[in-house]
Amino acid sequence: MSVLVLDNVVKSFGNFKAVDRISFEVEQGTVFGVLGPNGAGKTTTIRMITNILIPDEGEIQLFGEPVNPVHQNRIGYLPEERGLYKKIKVIEQLIYFGQLKGLTRSFAQKAANQWLFNMDAKDWGNKKIQELSKGMQQKVQFISTILHSPDLLILDEPFSGFDPINVEILKKIILDLKDSGKTILLSTHVMEQVEQLCDNIVLINKGKIILEGNVRKIKRNFGRDYVLMEFEGSDSFLDDLHNVKFINRTKNRVEFRLNNADYTANQILQNAIDKKAEVIRFELVEPSLNEIFIDVVQKTGGENE
């Protein structure tokens, strides 16, 4: 069952077409990534899904119906631009947001306390937002988004401001919500998190979809031409390589793509051995989603308005 369907959606601001005939579907119980460089049209697309903006053309359906204000209580939206009331206590703020989504005060308070406990923030209830660090505020903002148990959760850069420990907590919560049948629309620039969380993605550039599909299939279709290599000794053998795309290169570690290289992986390995490098690791793998992102965006014109 498709929770969300976009069909040839168009949105312009004056002469600038921010979204140009975008179509995709999001199935229930999945994590779906909406990706793209800055200015690609991601946020405009999300704002149309949440009914903040109205499409100029095309149709958006939520839960089998044209998107409308009635759906708002079934959506949890975490925008990239955060918005909390600085001088209001955490618990009162969460209760208020819960009531806006149709919860009773008592139910909202119970849910808020439970989520504060789940996110290792049980002692924050009587603190004002202005007393919290950026990361702590982020937790409160996230809790306010999921407090009413929405069927569709829309997260725009949800990991911004979190340290690695809290990133892991948030990722686990997202996956637990998915396992419970919730649907998550995720927009982030951190491709590692996309690989870990997303089932399917669309990559948008200049208002158009330039790549879409299942994450595993996309990576597999790009081939196994990405080499990870760790070694000790001289790295002079790397200077002999031509038409090899280096991703990262340090004294004892290198990542590169063969692409249209003049060498096979075995030839490079043999050359390293011949040059007296002690090879500790040599692995031929699929390119990361980050590399695919960069490659595809650059091929379709790179710069955005």
**Cβ atoms within 10 Å of 106's Cβ, excluding its own:** 9
User: Which pair of structure tokens corresponds to residue 156?
Assistant: 């725009």
Q: Write down the architecture of domain 224-285 according to CATH.
A: 2-Layer Sandwich (3.30)
Distance, in Å, from the CA atom of 199 to the CA atom of 213, rounded to the nearest integer, reads 9
71 DSSP assignment: G
Find residue 204's DSSP bridge partners: 209
**Using 50, 70 and 90 to split pLDDT, how confident is the model at 265?**
confident
pLDDT score of 221: 87
- Asked whether the predicted pLDDT for residue 261 surpasses 80, the reply is no
70: enclosing H helix or E strand:
none
Q: Pick one of 3.40.640.10, 3.40.1390.30, 3.40.50.300, 3.40.50.720 as the CATH number of 2-212.
A: 3.40.50.300
Which residue from 153, 157, 114, 111 is spatially nearest to 138, judged by alpha carbons?
Answer: 157
Percent of the chain residues topping a pLDDT of 70: 98
Write down the H helix ranges in the chain. 42-49, 90-100, 105-118, 134-146, 164-179, 191-197, 215-221, 265-274, 289-299
**Using 50, 70 and 90 to split pLDDT, how confident is the model at 55?**
very high
* pTM of the predicted protein model: 0.85
pLDDT digits (tens, 9 = 90+) for 79-115: 987 778 889 999 999 999 999 999 999 999 999 999 9
**Using 50, 70 and 90 to split pLDDT, how confident is the model at 224?**
confident
User: Which pair of structure tokens corresponds to residue 51?
Assistant: 């009914």
User: What do you get for the CA distance between the two ends of the chain, in Å?
Assistant: 36
128 DSSP assignment: B
- Asked whether the predicted pLDDT for residue 180 surpasses 90, the reply is yes
**Using 50, 70 and 90 to split pLDDT, how confident is the model at 74?**
very high
Report which residue type is found at 148: H
Which residue from 141, 132, 185 is spatially nearest to 160, judged by alpha carbons?
Answer: 141
Distance, in Å, from the CA atom of 6 to the CA atom of 187, rounded to the nearest integer, reads 16
- 47, 2 Cβ separation under 8 angstroms: no
- Asked whether the predicted pLDDT for residue 305 surpasses 50, the reply is no
pLDDT digits (tens, 9 = 90+) for 139-154: 999 999 999 999 999 9
User: Which pair of structure tokens corresponds to residue 164?
Assistant: 């690695």
**Using 50, 70 and 90 to split pLDDT, how confident is the model at 52?**
very high
pLDDT digits (tens, 9 = 90+) for 8-23: 999 999 999 999 999 9
Mean pLDDT for all residues in the chain: 91
- 19, 10 Cβ separation under 8 angstroms: yes
Domain 2-212 and domain 224-285 have a common topology? no
Segment 238-259 shows an average pLDDT of 85
Domain boundaries, the chain: 2-212, 224-285
* Angstrom distances, CA of residue 152 to CA of 26, 58, 191, 263, 298: 10, 21, 22, 48, 32
Distance, in Å, from the CA atom of 66 to the CA atom of 13, rounded to the nearest integer, reads 22
User: Which pair of structure tokens corresponds to residue 34?
Assistant: 């909406």
